[in-house]
Each structure stands twice: as structure tokens, then as C-alpha cells.
Structure 1
Amino acid sequence: MRTEQDGSRTPGRQPSRVRFERAEAVVAMTRLAAGPDPVRAVLDTLARRSTGAALIGVDGALLTVHPGRNPLDRTMLGAAARGVPELHARGTPAAVRGGAGAPTVHLVALGAGEPDDGAACDPDGGTEPAPWLAVVDPVDPLPGDLLADAARILGLCWRLERSERARRRVAAGDVRSREAVLHLLMVGDVAPARRIAAALRPHLPDLVRVCVVECAPRRRGEAAGQVTRALGGRAWVVPCPVRSRHLIALVPAPDRAGPREAGDADALGRLVTGRVPGTRIGVSEPVPLRRTAAGYEQAFHALAVARNGPDGHCRFDRATELRALLGAAGQDWARLLLAPCLSYRPARRMDPDGQELLATLGSWLAFDGAAHRHLRIHRNTLAARLALLRDRLGLDLSRISDQSVAWLALHLLGSAATPEDVPEAPPVGGGGADGAFGQGAAPGDRWVGLDRLLATPALGLWARGQLAPLEAGGTPVGLVTVRAWLRAEARLPDTAAALGVSVSAVRKRLGRAEQALGRSLLRGPSARHELWLALRTLDATADAGLVADPAGWPPA
């Protein structure tokens, strides 16, 4: 075994020339170290000046091999690799194997000269000591100093790549943790969400505005950083797990109301769109943490308006809440409708309980087929849960009517439902909406039917307020289109056939309806459930003699 120490003793070459070549080679390798894939680039350079270059793990495994100018004798390289564990154990920084007519293998530890504080810990929790550089039979003999320089540069590149992998894994873990917090908030589990957020920072405030920021998928990371800086690090920013163009930000909201509070929302929209060009943002009203899901729906509806607005931002224009109009009677109806889920106890501990089923229902109503990405479950698991929900509730969740009923029940009950406060559920009969509404319930029963619940003057005014923007200007085309769209179960081809127009014409009409309503229709979370309930309310109030001009919905 021998080690070449001084290249200046190479016969036939002047020391000044050797030093110049060494400096030139070091500069070239340094430039490669600043480019893409530096480890491979430096190894390729060494391979071109030899028979081959390789990285060998401290356990003797060949990590990567780069053939050089001449055919590579892998047998000799393998024999040299088997000696690396012994060299590493002895702490030998460099060695030469072979010679005497056989190929020569120069071995240099990339971690030579580092403080001996134990092996570096990799992101998987194991140990990953620096590998060894092997250069086989240099065509133009490499000076020992130049080989040491190459090993130092490779060591830096290797540590940089390892650090970058670790950074990406930490960033991915942070995103997953933030998605978990968002998911807990969306289903109303505030306490565990706060515990996780306390470790990640910032802390979750009691009152938030939910913002949905839309940008190009490749700029989502840049936009997230800009939003964080624009809001002074106070925002909880999460890439949307369902839509690749969306970021969701929870921003602390001041505990006040009035014109000043509305101005703050507009200023927030201007701040974000000004810092992140080419983005659109929808801002919700202030909501408590347990109502994050409602805030998300509001922000999503506001985004639908912001897409075509001149400013690129829009705040949610609050309408009268069904929750406030229906009051305790609405909560009783919702609690009894959802009682089969709230009281559900799975036969196996690993199966979803009632609260998880309701979370699945809410995700399905908001995201349709993309709910499995939001819930981080398999498509088949989602289908199985929806089948269980159908059996428990007696609702056909493929129909807009039954979806709207489920949406109303979840909206009214919110996160106030607990399994301990569940009334005894009557038998569920007949699938479909009318079979599950308890239309034949006794007058004294706490579970009143849906139409009886909706047939009040206040709900009639709410319904007309919801539909009034579709009749602006005296042209009811928007209302006719939306009614036909709902009757066709939100299928555009069926709607086009019913109206006698093209599919693109229907899509354009619904786009104009989105702008008029200030709500999203074609993408979920969609306002179609509220519109169905508004039309159903007008029909119910007409049957009760509370209005003279019924909406004519639903068809007989």
C-alpha cells in the first residue's frame, strides 16, 4: 500500500506547471460544484482523467460508478471496495491498492478532516457516514494534492445534497402536519389542532379569516412564502391537499365588527395580490376556529367572484344565515336526522366511528370525488364509507336533493353534536329525501319534516333573497338555467338538452350566475345545495299559503 503525496515529483514535469494544472482543475471542479447535480459532475470529470471513478460506502458497497476513458476492471474496483471498511475502522484517510502491473485504485475518504463527533444522522434516523472516493488507474497520474482537493470538493457536494434531501423531507413533514391541523379544524376538532399547531407555529387564534389563494401550481411554494411574509408570519398557510392551484391561509381576525372590519378584509386582499402578482384571493368573514369549514366555503365562494373581478380579490358578502333563521328547531331536526351516524359504534376499532363518518360526509359534499385526497384515504375506502352513510341515513348521496338535505343538517348542527346528546332515531325508510324527512311524524315529535321546517315567512324571504340576483334586470334566464341544472343533477349535457342549447352555452350561463350570486357553482364547495333549498323553500311556503307566487319547484 502506498499514497502519492506530492505531484511535483512526477518525472518530466516542471513544478510550476503541475501547480498551474492543479489550480486549473480545482477551479473547474469548484464551478461544477455550484451547478446542478454536482456530485455526478465532479465524478464525471475525474472519470475522464482516469479509467473510472466511484463512490464507495463505508460498508464496502459501490454507491455509484462512472466509467472513464479505458474499459473499467470492476473486479479490481470490487476488491478495493472490500478493503474500505477496514480503512474506515482504522481511521486511515487515504490509501492506494494494486500496482505492480495491476490497475491502481486511489482511495480517499470524503469525510477526512471532519471532527469525530459520530456519524451524521440521516432523515430516516439511521447513520450515514461520508463515503470514499475511488479513482482507478489515472491515465495522466493525478497528483496526491489534487486528489485530496477533489475529495474535499466532493465531500462538500455530498453533504450539500444530503442536507438538501433532509430539508425537503422536513418541509414535506411540515406540510403534512399542517394539512393534519387543517383537517382537524375542518371537522371541528379544535383542541388537538391547537396542540399540533403550538409545536409548528404560529399559534392558532380564536377568530380567523379563511383565505383561499389561487395561483399557478409551479408558483405555489413561492406564493406561500410571499403570503407568509406579507402577513408578518401571523398566517397559517397550507397548500390545499385537493386542488393544486390553491393555498389556504388562516389569518387572525380582529374581534370587532362594522365598516372598519370590512375594510380590513379588503386591505388583506390588496396586500396579498400586490405581493403575489397573478394571484386571486377570496376572503371569508371572521369565524371561530370550530367553524373553519364554513369559513372555507365562504372564501371559496368569494374566490369564484374574484376570478373575474378587476381587483383579483373579493371578500365574502354575508347573507342571512340559515342557522340563525331555523334556530333550535333546525338543530333538533338536524340532530335527529344525523342520529344514526352520531350513535354509530363500529364493530372493529380500526373502522370509522360516527364522527369520522360525518367528516367524510362533509368532505364528500364539499369536494365530490376528490374527497379521498382531502381525507388521505383510498378511493375504495371512500366508496365504502359513502355506502355505510347511505345505509345509516337512508339518503342517496348521488342526488342533489339528498345531498342538500345532508348539507343542511351538517350546517345546522356544526360541531355541537356529541354522541351523548343524540335522541333515539326513528326507523329510516325508503331511501331518498322524502323517506328520510319524517313527513308522517306526530305533531309533538321533536323531529319535524323538512318542508314543515322550511315553511316559515322568514325562510321565504331568505329564499327570495338567495334567488333575486338571478333575476336582476328582469331577465329570468339565470334562474331558468339554474333550475334546469339542478333538475338535471348538475349534469351539463342533460341541462343543455333540457334547455335546447349547447353545453358551452350552459357553462357560460352558469358562469354568469356565479358572478351574479357571488357563489361558486361549477366547482365545489358549490352553492347548489343552498339554491336547491331556496327553491324547495319557495315551494314549501307556497303550499303553506305564505306566498302567492311559488317557484314551481320541485317538479311533480
Structure 2
Amino acid sequence: MSTPQVLDELLRQLSSRARRGAGPAPGPQTLIDWLGRQLGAEIALVERGGTVEASTARFPPDILGGLHPVLTRLSGGHLAAAASQAGAFHVRCEALGQQVPRPVLVVAGPQPLTREALGLTSHVGAVMEVLRRARRADELALRYQRAAARLRLAILAALMTGEPTLARRMTAGAVPPLLDAERLRVHLLRCPPADRGRLTDAYEDESGYHGRGLMVRCPVYDDHLICLLPPDDDAGRADGGLAAPLRALVRDNPDYALGISTPVPLPATAQAYDQARHALAVACHTPERVADYHGRPPLAGLLPRQQAHAWAGAFLEPIRAAPRLTLDIVSLALHFPRSGVARLLDVSRNTVTAHLGRVQDALGLDLRDPRGRAELALALAISDLPPPDGGAVAEPPPAPSVDGLLSTEAAVTWAHAFLQPLRSGTDSALHRTLRAWVEAGTDAQRTARDLGISRTTVRAHLRTAEQLLQRTLLTPGPGTHDLVHAFRIAGRAP
């Protein structure tokens, strides 16, 4: 068979493999074995320093020692090819590619290579170098995608802790358009875990972002894809907005659901995320599987501002000088389980537990108790609000007790409105289950034991309550905090 025919056969094999999708392109070992059979010779691909990357089964490694000076010159770009004798072997060495240090193809046989064999060796070497470059390009692209995903997660973590300026600094000048917007919405997509990578790759642009938005695989819940979009992204823009495609995905895939927050300033991303979680809990129970957040105003904003700031300041005073990492961990731990906080901040779970332990000791709280978490969440939410009258208070009032703060008319009205859906058209079993669930530390198994019902019934009641209250309860977070406050206020109100 002539050299062109042999090369045609090689290319046909490579093309057939690509059409069948038979894994990645063949590596050096496959090509070396094929060339060895064509030439009846032993072949090796030698990397920098004399390391053999691949070789035929009977290649004599002892001949490489005598070839070291030649291999060095070939690898360094001083020679293109060289021939020599090594004992009984006629050896041909050829450098591949242009990038120094170059790999060297070594062919050792009982006879010198013919002109046709030399041409075939050079052609196969060129194919091998092209495939090596393609493989390196694929590896670089994969590393780039992973780095871009880590950067998007870091931006989300900074925004979740109210630090848009820190998020900008992380991007080293390649600022995503989202951070130039004043406000954003969170679209929280529930989908099969395996689909998340496919979706983020499909909409990713050259900069590693997603046009004017960001898509981030949730590090806590494997079936959540967090999408941060500018508020006007849902206006059917011609520049490739994501809001319409996300709704279309839900429409076309029965396993998908979508919760959408209201527009919020960038520092309030955590609030928007909570809203999207509440909306997602509602969406899962609707035929369209898409829901916008229509919740009531948060409790913190309804309390008398001066007294609320006085209480929150006194409550948080013991941790006022805590390290920033401690405060970030505390804030995130009110939204996610501890393992999720560890993944989000890239620290160990033991580190998260240690920081939370110091906060518990300082505040005298048990953060395993939903009532303790709810009280801390309320204090942090109040501290994030602007101070009364722009902060110009000559003499701050004495700090009220939390029960005194929650006995105001606004708080009582909020609690009754929050709990009203549980009283409209439902029996007392649902209300009783929720109260027992809070008393049991949100432990469904303990709740079932205390009430003498099954754990399945408890979870069914919780899912019904999520739909009625438009709050997520089956995962830790603000929905549970609101329920705790509502029961506390309603239990003390006339």
C-alpha cells in the first residue's frame, strides 16, 4: 500500500471514530502503535528530559541514553531531524511542532527508513502534533470554564454578604455588566442536577459570564441554578436576555420550576435570593411552575425604627467587633445549612461550626433552635436598615425587650396577616403541626413523635403550608424565621 493510501486509511479511521462519538480523539499511544505496525519498527514519543510519554511494546529504552545530546538539540529547536546508529538499530529522530521544548518522535528499526517510510513518519508526526494541540486546547478550555464558574460563585458569595464593591474587585477589571446595574432580580431555577452544567455552558459568553446576567450552580442545593439578572432583562430584549429562555425551559420541561424575586439593590442580593426561594416553593405547586414573589413587607421594616435600632444594637453589641469572616458565616448560616455555608465560602465545616459557636457563646443563643435563629435574623435585618432620621439622634432611647418590640400594633397586624391563610379553609391540624414543628426545633421526626402522626404527614403539612404562606419551610431560612415570629407575636397578642 502506497504512502497516500496508508494516510487515507489513517484519516478514515480517525473520521469514523469522530462520527461514532467514540470518546476523545486518539492519543499518542494509538498513533504510535499504528505507525509501528506500518513500518515494522519500534517507536517512542520522548518528552523533555528524556521522559517517554508513549511507545510500542518492544521499544528498547536503553538506546535513549546514547541519544541524549541529539534529543536535547531537537527538543531545544536547534535541529529538525537526525539519524544515527544505536547498536543493531537504525534510529531516526524527528522533532514535532514549533513550541520549545518540542517532543521528539524516535523510530528504531533493523533497517534504515525508506523515503516512503520517512514521509509516513513525518505525516503521522504532524497528525500527532495537531491532536496534541487540540487536546491541550480542550484542557485549557475546560480549566477556563472551571475558573469562570469559581469566579461567578465568588461574585455571588460577595453579593450575598452585601459587598458589590468586593465583587467588582474580584473580577480584576473584567467586570460583568450585572455589577454596573443598580438593581437585580434573582431567578431561581429548579432542574435536574445534571442539567445545570449544560445550561451554564450553553449561555456562557467569551468573558465567562452570561451576557448581562450570571448563572451560578448553587453550591448548597444540587437541583438549583441561581440566575442573577438586571430587572429589565424580562422585557424581551434583543441582546440575548435570559429571562425569556428560562421561562421557556420551564414551559418545555415538566421537571423544571422557576421562582422570581422583586427588583432589589445589589447589596440586597440575599433578600432577593430569599424571595426567589419563597416564589419557587409556590411555583412547585402551580400548573405553570413559574411564580413571582408577591410577599408582604418584611417584619423588620414595619417596626418602629428608633426602638428597633436600639434593640438590635444592644442585641448585636457582643459580636460588633467580631472578624468579618465570622459575620459573613453568621449571615449565610441563617439562609443555608452549615455544610452549604462551608461550600459557599470555601472553608471547612469545622470552621463554620467554630465561628458559630463563638457567636452563640457571645450572644447567649442556641442557633440550633429556630427561635434563636429567628431572633438573630431579625436583629441583623434591622441593623441593615437606614437609621431613623438619617442617624441624627441626640440621645438614643433605652433598648426595649424583643417582646416589647414585637407587641406593637404594626407587628401584631403583620403576624395576623401572615397566619391568616392557615385559618382560611383549613382545619386545625395544619396549624397544630406547624406549632409543634417549631417547638421540636423544625425536626420532622420529633414532630411526628410528639403529635402521634407519621413523618410523611408532617412533611405533607409543611408542603401545604408553603403553598398557603408562600414561604419555603422545608429548607432552613427566612420562611421559618417569619413563621416563628408570627407564632410568637400572635401567641402574646390579645
TM-score by length of 1: 0.76
Q: What is the DSSP-based 3-state SS (H/G/I as helix, E as strand, rest coil) of the residue aligned with 1:243?
A: coil
Which one of the candidate residues 159, 168, 176 is aligned to 2:133?
159
Q: 1:215 Cα deviation (Å)? A: 1.7
Is the Cα contact below 8 Å between 1:51 and 1:136 reproduced in 2?
yes
In the alignment, does 2:186 pair up with 1:221? no
2:56 corresponds, among 61, 67, 76, to 67
Q: Aligned partners of 2:210 and 2:460: how far apart in 1?
A: 39
CA offsets, 1:54-93, max 9 Å, x none?
A: 332233222x22433xx33222245446641122335222
Cα shift readout 1:123-181 (whole Å, capped 9, x = no counterpart): xxxxxx44222344389967111111111111111111111111122222222222221
Match of 2:120 in 1: 146
Structure 2 equivalent of residue 6 of structure 1: none
* CA shift in 2, pair 1:335/1:488, >3 Å: same
Distance 1:195 1:149 in 2: 49
Aligned to 1:178: 152
Matched, 1:189 2:163: yes
Counterpart residue type for residue 198 of structure 2: E
> Any stretches of 5+ residues in structure 1 without a counterpart?
1-15, 120-128, 257-263, 345-352, 424-443, 542-546, 548-556
Q: How does 1:291-310 map to 2 (within 5 A)?
A: 291-310=268-287
State the match for 1:202 in structure 2: 177
- The residue aligned with 2:238 is none
Pair 1:361–1:299, CA change in 2 (3 A):
same
Contact kept in structure 2, 1:55 and 1:131, CA below 8 Å: yes
Alignment partners' CA distance in 2, 1:207 and 1:92: 61
Q: Percent identity?
A: 30
Count of paired positions:
468
8 Å Cα contact 2:183-2:231 kept in structure 1: yes
> Which of 348, 354, 359 does residue 384 from structure 1 map onto?
354
Q: Does 2:325 match 1:337?
A: no
Checking the alignment, whether the CA contact within 8 Å between 1:265 and 1:315 is kept in structure 2 is: no
The C-alpha deviation readout for 1:502-551, integer Å capped at 9, x for no partner, is 1122122212222222211111335111101110111232xxxxx2xxxx
Q: How has the CA–CA distance of structure 1 residues 55 and 304 changed in structure 2, closer, same or farther, with 3 Å as cutoff?
A: farther
Choose the corresponding residue for 1:247, options 225, 236, 239: 225
Q: Which runs of 5+ in 2 are unaligned?
A: 235-240
1:39 to 6, 20, 27: 27
SS in 2 for 1:244: coil
Deviations 1:281-318 (A, max 9, x none): 11001111111001001111111222232212111112
CA distance in structure 1 between the aligned counterparts of 2:144 and 2:204, rounded to whole angstroms = 18
Matched, 1:362 2:312: no
| Cα pair 1:396 1:402 within 8 Å, conserved | yes
Cα 1:196–1:168 shift into 2, 3 Å: same
What is the distance in 2 between the residues matched to 1:199 and 1:186? 20
Q: Which residue of 2 aligns with 1:409?
A: 379
Q: Which residue of 2 aligns with 1:437?
A: none
SS where residue 452 of structure 1 aligns?
helix
Structure 1 residues 227, 300: closer, same or farther in 2, change over 3 A? Answer: farther
Deviates more, 1:233-242 or 1:49-58: 49-58
Deviation at 1:337, TM superposition (A): 1.1
Secondary structure of residue in 2 paired with 1:45: helix
Post-superposition offset of 1:357: 1.7
Q: Distance in 1 between matches of 2:34 and 2:242?
A: 57
Q: Are residue 507 (structure 1) and residue 459 (structure 2) matched?
A: yes
Partner residue of 2:449? 497
CA displacement 1:421-456 (0-9 Å, x = unmatched): 9x9xxxxxxxxxxxxxxxxxxxx9532111000002
Partner Cα distance (2:174, 2:110) in 1: 53
Alpha-carbon spacing, 1:38–1:456, altered in 2? closer, same or farther (3 Å) = same
RMSD of aligned C-alpha atoms?
3.2
Give the match for residue 471 of structure 1: 423
* Residue 27 of structure 1: how far off its partner (Å): 3.7
Distance 1:321 1:83, change over 3 A: same
Q: Does 1:24 align with 2:9?
A: yes
The code of the aligned residue for 2:288 comes to D
Match of residue 211 from structure 1: 187
Cα distance change, pair 137–342 in 1 and its aligned pair in 2 (3 A): farther
- Residue type of the alignment partner of 2:289: G
Question: In structure 2, how many angstroms separate the alpha carbons of the residues matched to 1:265 and 1:159?
Answer: 34
User: Shift of the alpha carbon at 1:255?
Assistant: 12
Q: Are the aligned partners of 1:33 and 1:153 in contact in 2 as well (CA < 8 Å)? A: no
Distance 1:220 1:79, change over 3 A: farther
Map of 1:93 onto structure 2: 80
Segment of structure 1 superposing worse, 144-153 or 500-509: 500-509
Distance 2:91 2:223 in 1: 52
